[in-house]
Structure 1
Amino acid sequence: MTSSETADGRRVWLVERTYSDDEQNLIILTYATTDGKQYFRKERALTSGSDIRETTAAVEAEPSNLGTVNDPELREQYANEAQRMAAEHDPGDAI
């Protein structure tokens, strides 16, 4: 098992947080592997102003739930950000 693999899946790091243009109160969290080759998207709906859930620096994703990053520039961007997050944060750190 490599450092990016865990017993529960593959560790991916937060690389992007965006707000949906289509729906109000929807946050899209994008996590990626440190090589930038794979990503995991997580959508979170905020139901009220008191709906406070922490976003962690990393999550575990099942390999079957990972997408492939085909764009070389985006792959490099994700790799750089995932590596930065991994160097600066523990996986469970609130971001």
Structure 2
Amino acid sequence: MEESTTDVVRVWLVERTYSDDEQNMVILTYATPDGERYFRKERALTSFSDVRDTTAAVQAGPGELGSVDDPDLRERYAAEARRMRDAHDPDDLI
């Protein structure tokens, strides 16, 4: 398990998308460096001045993590998570 402390896992930002279903919804996807697990964080933006920091990594508990079943997506998440880990400190603002 990557960088785990008492079942908490550090996951790295791999994707930032905007929801097609709802306006002003940002979806942040973080993944483990092996790409096998992900954590999804949805953030509603209430105005253009609504600024919230997004960090390179966050901590997630085992119950918050999903499995990445698609091999191509797993490979993409793994590559991006490792790239972020190598280029940034966990608390770096992205």
Does residue 52 (structure 1) correspond to residue 51 (structure 2)? The answer is yes
Structure 1 gap ranges (5+): none
**Against the structure 1 CA distance between its residues 79 and 3, is the aligned structure 2 distance closer, same or farther, given a 3 Å change threshold?**
closer
- Partners of 1:86 and 1:94 in 2: how far apart? 13
Which one-letter code corresponds to 1:27 in the other structure? Answer: V
Deviation of 1:6 after TM superposition, in Å, equals 3.1
Q: How many residues align structurally?
A: 94
Equivalent residue of 1:74, what SS?
A: helix
Structure 2 equivalent of residue 37 of structure 1: 36
Structure 2 equivalent of residue 17 of structure 1: 16
Structure 1 equivalent of residue 80 of structure 2: 81
- Partners of 1:82 and 1:5 in 2: how far apart? 15
User: Is contact 2:2-2:33 (8 Å) kept?
Assistant: no
Q: TM-score scaled by structure 2?
A: 0.95
User: Is contact 2:3-2:10 (8 Å) kept?
Assistant: yes
Structure 2 equivalent of residue 94 of structure 1: 93
Deviating above 2 A after TM superposition, structure 1's stretches of 4 or more consecutive aligned residues are: none
User: Is contact 2:7-2:62 (8 Å) kept?
Assistant: no
Q: TM-score scaled by structure 1?
A: 0.94
- The two structures, once aligned, show a CA RMSD in angstroms of 1.3
Deviation of 1:4 after TM superposition, in Å, equals 1.6
> Bigger CA drift: 3-12 or 75-84?
3-12
Deviation of 1:5 after TM superposition, in Å, equals 1.2
